Structure 1
Amino acid sequence: MRCFLALFLLLTAAASAAEKPNIIFILADDLGWGDLGCYGNRTIRTPNLDKMARQGTLFTQFYVNASVCSPSRCAFFTGQYPARHRIHGHYATKEQNDARGMSNWLEPQVPNAARLMKSAGYTTAHIGKWHLGNNSGGPPIDAYGFDFVGTSEKDGANGPGGDPYFRAKSTAVFVDESLKFIEQAGDKPFYLQLWTLVPHATLNPTPEQLKPYAHLRAGGKDFPHAAAMEIFAASVTDLDTHIGRLFAGLEQLGKDKDTLILFSSDNGPEDIHIGNAGHSGVGSAGPFRGRKRSLYEGGIRVPGIVRWPGKVPAGRIEDKAVMAGVDWLPTLCKIAGAALPADHALDGEEVSDVLFGSSRPRTRPLMWEWRFNIAGEPFHHSPELAIRDGDWKLLMNPDRSRVELYDIIKDLAQLNNLAEHHPEVVEKLSAQVTAWAKTLPEGPHDPSAGKMHSGMPGDPPRGQAKKKNAPVK
């Protein structure tokens, strides 16, 4: 009887392990909603991500929970709005973080994806950009629950040895490290965060990477200087090429059918008018108003593609379900069988049913705050607060100096402000987002936050904010 019981428990454990997928989370940097072929781009070649979309599900309403990198990454990693952790903008130096009322790093003891996956029997890895605090003397990345940590941005913009093409070659390096980690994981399920450096500025593709796009030069392919779109397209295509290499490696290792993959971006595309944007400012937000830093759709709606053969429907374009970065942690825990701490208050919701084919409305609204200046094109300068609930999206300043209401399904570009026609909707949503904003940590707000300014005389002051806050990034 004891032998039978032992065998039963062993088989049950083996079956349970077999049901746990390997999980890869690929996060691009500053890639816009409209930068991939599968999202309608007809200039940039992305055959491998397009194939991923055909083999899985493409979500058209996938949001991040901040319009810049550090807070967006925090939301994916913790399942919580980043303001809970005083992560309001990108992490910079300690002095710059302090001036903006920010923490200097995400505290390692906060429940996160790596530690929770590890508790469920996974071996864990982080490879690539981190930007959750190690630039300002924070804890090492492995302190967050990772068994393996690969090359990251802490190695410098030009990488080990000062290679000027390091960013251009970085995705290849990250994929090499990823494949090595996957192979060494053996039969144990793994959780891998592969967070790329491109297409964030400053882009400097190699001559070989540029060749397919020489026709984009204003003076023709023999013109000596590369054009902005040529540089950007070459960088995105190289990103796609090495992601394709990752997929091929998974297949060769016999792990492709047992692996759940999410591909997304940390925020919308950079604004071409930003001084340090380099050539990354020509990325596409698709049909949406807004770019990086903005709470209009283009700043926070990003690509979202999920593949898991036999589990996630293939060839599906899901345009009804609204998903967000804060949903990633609870969904991971459900799929992997990880227990969430009872005292870890989630801002997202568990959406595994949506991944596996269900199409349903969200049960919780999404909310955003941006308390700093929005540089660049005035058309994209959004109010400070935003809330999305059902088909409605409300943007407003806390003092109600701007109140904008959009039917986000009918008005993708957010041009037709319906606030005066639906006062009852404005009242409901404004009460929700205002109450939420009052729970956020207090801190400085730029004088120009929430204002649509052009830099012309009479516009709100910007000099004070420029001295006080971190440089645009």
Structure 2
Amino acid sequence: MRFILLLALCPSLFAARPNIIFILADDLGWGDLGCYGNKTIQTPNLDAMAKQGTLFTQFYVNASVCSPSRCAFFTGQYPSRHRIHGHYATKQQNDARGMSNWLEPQVPNAASLMKTAGYTTAHIGKWHLGSNSGGPPPDAYGFDFVGTSEKDGANGPAADPYFRAKSTAIFVDECLQFIEKAGDTPFYLQLWTLVPHATLNPTPEQMAPYARLRANGKDFPHASAMQIFAASVTDLDTQIGRLLAGLEKLGKDENTLILFSSDNGPEDIHIGNAGHSGVGSAGPFRGRKRSLYEGGIRVPGILRWPGKIPAGRIEDKAIMAGVDWLPTICKLAGVTPPADHTFDGEDVGDVLLGQSHPRTKPLMWEWRFNISGEPFHHSPELAIRDGDWKLLMNPDRSRVELYDITKDLTQLNNVAEHHPDIVEKLAAQVTTWAKTLPSGPRDPTAGQMHSGMPGKPDSRPLKGQGKKKNEPVK
């Protein structure tokens, strides 16, 4: 209370505290933007944002699907701490996978912690941290304003078939209204988009610039998957451009830190509900959504803060991750987190401002379930990145793979037999970490490179679950 009163009496103390906007796309791959090398999809606004700020080539999320990835950004902790191992679904499906049904609201998070520094807070767009399985709504987590979400586009007969196509524009309208209403109060805003997650249905106007991508050329009557996907990503870019322009018009752009990223890698075209989103690009990397190979967990990371974050910088050396977001913005906002809330990430504010140095903590991942689609992307269950090395392994060591990730982007040359000392060091770290995680059922095919049934739910029972079946692929 004394801190907030002091800020009210001395508003100049806010000067060094940036407004913060966190934009999170859904299923956007590392290679889906022009600034990351895409030659097909037009993303001029995000390309411009990268030129005005810093583009990170080694930006990771801490899970290969949506709910756990979002938890890591929001709490600064590995999602398995909270028994969030996969996407939140129905209670029955969550229980079958040994998962919680929602992130507990009392867990310190970005919204609640920013409020302690006098920030007004908002969440607009996709949530997927438990309200779809009966959990608390987003406003229970410390948000002053909660806008439109995916639930508002329900698939009833009266629903607009183009809701998803129009959703980013709706979200941006609400963002600008929130920012204007915030006035001189610093704000923390989460804009989590629905695009380009399936099912995509862009409007004819959004599709028009990509007529050349129809299945057999511009005169062919049917849209191709790439036309639909490209149109959706370009509209996402257009609406982010509107947000940036509105921020400037409101005089807020100079002291606003913006992060743009994605919750995981691109969907696999073989997944049954992938629709047209399965043609996204993982760039040069092996792996897609659900995989612990690079393409499933390495995503775009663009940060802009005029005059603070170097403009036009492409940062190839620093390794950043979703768990670093909360400790970093806490430091920038002057927030001291509760002593019993241990961050798994680290403050990388100096890296944002231009420095480049190795991480002090390795990054670790787990995936307990089946991976459908191409066997080439079927990773082991555990992974650890420490410096230039990345180790992937199954707990029983039925698969052990070591890669120098700076030299072998596609993870084709397993050098484990040539570096047994590095294997043992990293294996000990990730195994010790895995033993601290909540126990629970595992899919019998987890960590296996198998042909499977592409696009079909896995019908085999989960370990420890008798006859219960694995959830449908999502």
Q: Give the TM-score normalised by structure 1.
A: 0.96
| Residue of structure 2 equivalent to 1:286 | 283
- Once the two structures are superposed, the pairs formed by residues 119-134 of structure 1 within 5 Å of their partners are 119-134=116-131
**1:464–1:255: structure 2 CA closer, same or farther, 3 Å change rule?**
same
Q: Please give the per-residue CA displacement for 1:297-319, whole angstroms capped at 9, x wherever unaligned.
A: 00000000000000000000000
2:162 to 165, 170, 185: 165
In 2: Cα distance, 1:285 partner to 1:219 partner: 25
C-alpha contact (below 8 Å) 2:153/2:164 kept by paired residues: no
Gaps of 5+ in 2: 1-5
| Residue of structure 1 equivalent to 2:235 | 238
**Shift of residue 218, structure 1, vs aligned partner:** 2.6
Kindly provide the amino acid, as one letter, of the partner of residue 469 in structure 1: N
User: Once the two structures are aligned, what percentage of the paired residues are identical?
Assistant: 85
In 1: Cα distance, 2:289 partner to 2:192 partner: 18
C-alpha contact (below 8 Å) 2:7/2:14 kept by paired residues: no
Kindly provide the amino acid, as one letter, of the partner of residue 297 in structure 1: E
2:20 to 18, 23, 40: 23
Q: Please give the per-residue CA displacement for 1:271-310, whole angstroms capped at 9, x wherever unaligned.
A: 0000100000000000000000000000000000000000
In 2: Cα distance, 1:362 partner to 1:12 partner: 39
In 2: Cα distance, 1:160 partner to 1:152 partner: 18
| Residue of structure 2 equivalent to 1:470 | 471
In 1: Cα distance, 2:423 partner to 2:138 partner: 43
1:263 to 249, 260, 285: 260
Are 2:307 and 1:310 aligned? yes
C-alpha contact (below 8 Å) 2:317/2:356 kept by paired residues: yes
1:250 to 247, 251, 271: 247
Runs of 4+ with >6 A deviation: 9-12
Are 2:54 and 1:67 aligned? no
What SS does the corresponding residue of 1:180 show, helix, strand or coil?
A: helix
2:92 to 92, 95, 103: 95
In 2: Cα distance, 1:214 partner to 1:174 partner: 27
In 1: Cα distance, 2:238 partner to 2:127 partner: 22
**1:55–1:184: structure 2 CA closer, same or farther, 3 Å change rule?**
same
C-alpha contact (below 8 Å) 1:96/1:468 kept by paired residues: no
**Shift of residue 157, structure 1, vs aligned partner:** 4.5
**Shift of residue 154, structure 1, vs aligned partner:** 2.3
C-alpha contact (below 8 Å) 1:158/1:167 kept by paired residues: no
In 1: Cα distance, 2:157 partner to 2:133 partner: 19
What SS does the corresponding residue of 2:191 show, helix, strand or coil?
A: strand
In 1: Cα distance, 2:346 partner to 2:109 partner: 15
RMSD, matched Cα? 1.5
| Residue of structure 2 equivalent to 1:446 | 443
**Shift of residue 462, structure 1, vs aligned partner:** 5.2
What SS does the corresponding residue of 2:243 show, helix, strand or coil?
A: helix
C-alpha contact (below 8 Å) 1:395/1:405 kept by paired residues: yes
**Shift of residue 12, structure 1, vs aligned partner:** 8.1
Q: Please give the per-residue CA displacement for 1:69-96, whole angstroms capped at 9, x wherever unaligned.
A: 0000000000000000000000000000
In 1: Cα distance, 2:244 partner to 2:290 partner: 32
C-alpha contact (below 8 Å) 1:23/1:190 kept by paired residues: yes
What SS does the corresponding residue of 1:162 show, helix, strand or coil?
A: coil
In 2: Cα distance, 1:455 partner to 1:80 partner: 33
In 2: Cα distance, 1:254 partner to 1:159 partner: 40
What SS does the corresponding residue of 2:275 show, helix, strand or coil?
A: coil
In 1: Cα distance, 2:358 partner to 2:400 partner: 25
Q: Please give the per-residue CA displacement for 1:130-173, whole angstroms capped at 9, x wherever unaligned.
A: 00000011011100000000011222444995111000000000
| Residue of structure 1 equivalent to 2:342 | 345
| Residue of structure 2 equivalent to 1:215 | 212
| Residue of structure 2 equivalent to 1:179 | 176
**Shift of residue 20, structure 1, vs aligned partner:** 1.1
Kindly provide the amino acid, as one letter, of the partner of residue 20 in structure 1: R
| Residue of structure 1 equivalent to 2:29 | 32
**1:63–1:157: structure 2 CA closer, same or farther, 3 Å change rule?**
farther
Gaps of 5+ in 1: 1-8
In 2: Cα distance, 1:392 partner to 1:282 partner: 29
What SS does the corresponding residue of 2:70 show, helix, strand or coil?
A: helix
Are 2:361 and 1:364 aligned? yes
| Residue of structure 1 equivalent to 2:3 | none
What SS does the corresponding residue of 1:305 show, helix, strand or coil?
A: strand
| Residue of structure 1 equivalent to 2:400 | 403
- Once the two structures are superposed, the pairs formed by residues 83-162 of structure 1 within 5 Å of their partners are 83-158=80-155, 161-162=158-159
What SS does the corresponding residue of 1:320 show, helix, strand or coil?
A: coil
In 2: Cα distance, 1:157 partner to 1:65 partner: 29
C-alpha contact (below 8 Å) 1:168/1:235 kept by paired residues: yes
| Residue of structure 1 equivalent to 2:372 | 375
Give the stretch that moved more between structures: 29-38 or 333-342.
333-342
In 1: Cα distance, 2:154 partner to 2:69 partner: 21
**Shift of residue 221, structure 1, vs aligned partner:** 1.4
| Residue of structure 1 equivalent to 2:382 | 385
In 1: Cα distance, 2:415 partner to 2:459 partner: 30
1:327 to 324, 328, 350: 324
Q: How many positions carry a matched residue from both structures?
A: 461
Q: Please give the per-residue CA displacement for 1:168-221, whole angstroms capped at 9, x wherever unaligned.
A: 000000000000000000010000000000000000000110000010113221
Kindly provide the amino acid, as one letter, of the partner of residue 408 in structure 2: D
1:431 to 428, 432, 439: 428
Q: Please give the per-residue CA displacement for 1:423-449, whole angstroms capped at 9, x wherever unaligned.
A: 000000000000000000000000000
In 2: Cα distance, 1:256 partner to 1:88 partner: 37
C-alpha contact (below 8 Å) 1:157/1:167 kept by paired residues: no
In 2: Cα distance, 1:98 partner to 1:287 partner: 36
In 1: Cα distance, 2:314 partner to 2:141 partner: 34
Q: Please give the per-residue CA displacement for 1:6-29, whole angstroms capped at 9, x wherever unaligned.
A: xxx789832211211110000000
C-alpha contact (below 8 Å) 1:387/1:393 kept by paired residues: yes
**1:410–1:121: structure 2 CA closer, same or farther, 3 Å change rule?**
same
C-alpha contact (below 8 Å) 2:286/2:410 kept by paired residues: yes
In 2: Cα distance, 1:101 partner to 1:191 partner: 33
Kindly provide the amino acid, as one letter, of the partner of residue 201 in structure 2: N
| Residue of structure 2 equivalent to 1:49 | 46
